[in-house]
């Protein structure tokens, strides 16, 4: 279904790129750098090769992207926005020399309004400064656990609307938030909240229409509301629906999707429209028993996924995401943990359609600096608002293997849990520990406790996974536990028939056969212990 009203165009071509000349890092100098620019197509990263072949010596720091844009006179009076899906890691956006936006965080989208500084009927210069140098106030605070690729590595969009619109700059979200309650085969209660923005100086008489369509395009329900939209502040409007005898979103078995179309109407004409997915489902986790989807026990056998391809880095196109998802589907996974950061919205949308139940998280990983609290909360808020309507997402990940100082980490995790529950009361939260004991001081500050365990690889023997699980079952029967990483590394060129029950790390020899043995044995333990609500094999990262 093609949206009406607004214009949404790709803004990925016509860019030139240059690393910052030494001593000239200020973006205001960029127009004067006449030489050394290279034509690039977005998505683009400057670390596609150096980060993969010389991780201890890759370029991290500032670089610039420049593009010229002719703004037609006939579009004067329209509102113009840029939406960046991902810039690694800290961004500044300038239009005709004026700063229009800053953003901290490599993995979440951000949007900015640029129409007020564009010159109609003239050439306009747009400069984006990207800087992937690690810093203590932006998560992740270092490149240790994984490298943060620099650049405009996800697509950029030009959005043009009338002066009155469904909000474009609410944390770069859709401006539409769909919640569902009391979901069953008999009925589902759906609430649609739409945020509207008036860019003029006067109230405007408008009508907001929210309509739900089934998968075949047939109208299921609709509501309209007329009002004068105030010129001061973003306004929210809600519509409530009861859907009788719905077709439920049943994971891989039947990932049935409705659509919610929100239309803004003025003088009988649609001036803006946003289309969002609606998968009617109910997630429930019962400690000691497992995961339930729409009241039915559902197997949560999963993998993790990094957005990392050989010679592409993180600058992936949709066909790369599709390849990864096809492989995940082929091995029979039912759930995916997208580690350790916000990933492409296209990827989340495909999981909606494929029926994969997914875990989305922020890059609060590995270390703390004591200066990242504000940015950590900001990135979680962005993740939730931008991904709010994806039915495939069941949990928000708060942190992964973050420890000292324990009290700081504990209190920040509590605040993240509270923020997630304020933004989205209906989904679970999870934090992940790399130790195997429940009483660790940073644990139990989220709905779910995840534990990363590598028996036979980083510690002990393969068989030690079973007494570990049995001990937790006995001592903490009421806790919701997930095995959030497990497995072993392997080199396809390393093969042997002789296998022990743990890897000898004194030799640089990582046989594929040991990796296979690890998974086969530990899979049997996972399958026999429903106390492990979900399991995630580390790691599905392909480099064709």
Residue 118 and residue 84 share a domain: yes
Average pLDDT over residues 521-537: 96
Domain-embedded: residue 21 = yes
State pLDDT tens for residues 152-206.
999 999 999 999 999 999 999 999 999 999 999 999 999 999 999 999 999 999 9
User: What pLDDT, on a 0 to 100 scale, did the predictor assign at position 1?
Assistant: 44
Assess whether pLDDT exceeds 50 at residue 449.
yes
466 noted as active-site residue:
no
User: What pLDDT, on a 0 to 100 scale, did the predictor assign at position 2?
Assistant: 47
CA-closest candidate to residue 119, choices 70, 162, 79, 159:
70
330: which residues sit within 8 A by CB, 6+ positions away?
none
Residue 125 and residue 210 share a domain: no
What proportion of the chain, given as a percentage, has pLDDT over 90? Answer: 88
Least confident of 112-126, 130-144, 482-496: 482-496
Confidence band for 31, pLDDT divided at 50, 70 and 90: low
Residue 315 and residue 418 share a domain: yes
User: What pLDDT, on a 0 to 100 scale, did the predictor assign at position 26?
Assistant: 57
Q: Which two tokens stand for residue 491?
A: 């080199």
Give the CATH number, domain containing residue 333: 3.20.20.80
Residue 462 and residue 367 share a domain: yes
The more confident residue out of 492 and 205 is: 205
Domain-embedded: residue 295 = no
Average pLDDT over residues 295-308: 96
Least confident of 148-152, 206-210, 218-222, 488-492: 488-492
- Supply the mean pLDDT for the chain: 94
Average pLDDT over residues 108-117: 97
Residue 161, burial from CB neighbour count under 10 angstroms (0-12, 13-18, 19+):
buried
Domain stops at, among 101, 129, 161: 161
Number of domains in the chain: 3
Q: Which two tokens stand for residue 529?
A: 């212990």
User: What pLDDT, on a 0 to 100 scale, did the predictor assign at position 100?
Assistant: 97
Assess whether pLDDT exceeds 60 at residue 23.
no
Domain-embedded: residue 170 = no
Confidence band for 25, pLDDT divided at 50, 70 and 90: low
Domain stops at, among 217, 243, 278: 278
Average pLDDT over residues 515-524: 93
CA dist 302 and 31 (Å) reads 48
Domain-embedded: residue 285 = no
Residue 337 and residue 203 share a domain: no
State pLDDT tens for residues 318-338.
999 999 999 999 999 999 999
User: What pLDDT, on a 0 to 100 scale, did the predictor assign at position 29?
Assistant: 60
Average pLDDT over residues 96-103: 96
User: What pLDDT, on a 0 to 100 scale, did the predictor assign at position 36?
Assistant: 83
Q: Work out the angle between the directed axes of helices 318-330 and 345-354 (0-180°, nearest 10).
A: 40
User: What pLDDT, on a 0 to 100 scale, did the predictor assign at position 505?
Assistant: 66
Domain-embedded: residue 450 = yes
State pLDDT tens for residues 411-426.
999 999 999 999 999 9
Residue 363 and residue 324 share a domain: yes
Assess whether pLDDT exceeds 60 at residue 385.
yes
CA dist 194 and 427 (Å) reads 20
User: What pLDDT, on a 0 to 100 scale, did the predictor assign at position 544?
Assistant: 40
Q: Which two tokens stand for residue 403?
A: 């420890």
Contact 313, 52 (CB under 8 A): yes
Residue 137 and residue 20 share a domain: yes
Residue 397, burial from CB neighbour count under 10 angstroms (0-12, 13-18, 19+):
buried
Domain-embedded: residue 110 = yes
3-state secondary structure 324-387: HHHHHHHCCCCEEEECCCCCCHHHHHHHHHHCCEEEEECCCECCCCCCCHHHHHHHHHHHHHHH
Give the CATH number, domain containing residue 182: 2.60.40.10
The active-site residue, picked from 92, 113, 401, 485, is 401
String of b and e for 265-297 (b: at least 16 CB within 10 Å)? bbeeebbbbbbbbbbbbbbebeeeebbebbeee
Scan for tokens 């944390």, then name that residue.
171
Domain stops at, among 161, 196, 219: 161
User: What pLDDT, on a 0 to 100 scale, did the predictor assign at position 32?
Assistant: 64
Assess whether pLDDT exceeds 70 at residue 389.
yes
Residue 104 and residue 23 share a domain: yes
Q: Count the neighbouring beta carbons within 10 Å of the beta carbon of residue 464.
A: 16
Residue 374, burial from CB neighbour count under 10 angstroms (0-12, 13-18, 19+):
exposed
Residue 260 and residue 138 share a domain: no
The boundaries of the domain holding residue 238 are 176-278
Give the CATH number, domain containing residue 38: 2.60.120.260
Domain-embedded: residue 290 = no
Domain-embedded: residue 2 = no
Sheet of strand 290-293, all strands in order from the earlier edge strand to the far edge: 283-286, 290-293, 296-297
Residue 98, CA distances (Å) to 30, 66, 172, 314 in order: 13, 14, 21, 29
Residue 245 and residue 186 share a domain: yes
Residue 456 and residue 378 share a domain: yes
String of b and e for 1-24 (b: at least 16 CB within 10 Å)? eebebbeeeebbeebebbebeeee
SS3 category, 82: strand
Scan for tokens 């946003």, then name that residue.
274
Residue 131 and residue 244 share a domain: no
Q: Count the neighbouring beta carbons within 10 Å of the beta carbon of residue 181.
A: 11
CA 113-13-39 angle, 5° bins = 120
């Amino acid at each position: 279904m093609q949206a009406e009203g607004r214009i949404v165009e790709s803004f990925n071509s016509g860019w030139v790129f240059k690393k910052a000349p030494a001593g000239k890092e200020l973006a205001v100098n960029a127009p004067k750098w006449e030489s050394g620019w290279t034509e690039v197509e977005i998505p683009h990263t400057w670390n596609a090769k150096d980060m993969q072949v010389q991780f201890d010596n890759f370029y991290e720091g500032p670089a610039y992207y420049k593009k010229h844009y002719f703004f037609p006179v006939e579009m004067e009076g329209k509102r113009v926005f840029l939406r960046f899906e991902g810039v690694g890691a800290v961004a500044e956006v300038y239009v005709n020399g004026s700063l229009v936006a800053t953003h901290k965080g490599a993995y979440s989208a951000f949007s900015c309004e640029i129409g007020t500084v564009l010159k109609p009927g003239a050439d306009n210069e747009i400069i984006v400064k990207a800087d992937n140098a690690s810093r203590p106030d932006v998560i992740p605070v270092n490149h240790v656990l994984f490298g943060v690729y620099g650049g405009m590595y996800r697509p950029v969009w030009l959005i043009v609307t009338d002066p009155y619109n469904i909000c474009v700059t609410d944390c770069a979200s859709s401006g539409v938030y769909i919640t569902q309650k009391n979901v069953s085969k008999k009925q589902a209660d759906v609430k649609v909240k739409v945020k509207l923005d008036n860019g003029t100086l006067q109230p405007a008489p408008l009508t907001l229409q929210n309509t739900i369509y089934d998968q075949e395009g047939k109208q299921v329900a609709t509501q309209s509301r007329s009002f004068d939209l105030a010129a001061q502040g973003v306004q929210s409007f809600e519509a409530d629906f009861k859907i009788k005898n719905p077709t439920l979103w049943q994971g891989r078995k039947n990932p049935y999707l409705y659509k919610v179309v929100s239309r803004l109407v003025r003088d009988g004409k649609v001036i803006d429209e946003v289309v969002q997915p609606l998968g009617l489902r109910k997630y429930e986790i019962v400690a000691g028993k497992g995961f339930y989807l729409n009241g039915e026990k559902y197997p949560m056998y999963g993998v993790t996924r990094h957005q990392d391809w050989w010679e592409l880095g993180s600058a992936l196109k949709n066909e790369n995401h599709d390849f990864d998802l096809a492989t995940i589907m082929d091995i029979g996974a039912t759930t995916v943990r997208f580690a350790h950061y916000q990933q492409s919205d296209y990827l989340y949308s495909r999981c909606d359609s494929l029926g994969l139940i997914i875990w989305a998280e922020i890059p609060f990983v590995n270390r703390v600096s004591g200066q990242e609290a504000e940015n950590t909360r900001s990135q979680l808020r962005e993740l939730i608002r931008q991904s709010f309507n994806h039915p495939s997402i069941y949990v928000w990940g708060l942190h992964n293997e973050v420890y000292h100082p324990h009290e700081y980490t504990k209190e920040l995790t509590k605040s993240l849990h509270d923020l997630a529950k304020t933004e989205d009361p209906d989904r679970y939260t999870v934090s992940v520990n790399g130790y195997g004991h429940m009483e660790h001081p940073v644990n139990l500050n989220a709905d779910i406790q995840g534990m990363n365990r590598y028996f036979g690889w980083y510690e002990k023997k393969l068989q030690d996974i079973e007494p570990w699980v049995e001990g937790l079952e006995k001592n903490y029967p009421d806790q919701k536990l997930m095995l959030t990483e497990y497995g072993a590394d392997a080199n396809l060129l390393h093969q042997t028939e002789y296998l022990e029950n743990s890897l000898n790390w004194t030799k640089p020899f990582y046989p594929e056969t040991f990796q296979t043995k690890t998974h086969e044995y530990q899979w049997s333990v996972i399958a026999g212990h429903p106390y492990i609500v979900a399991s995630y094999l580390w790691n599905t990262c392909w480099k064709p």
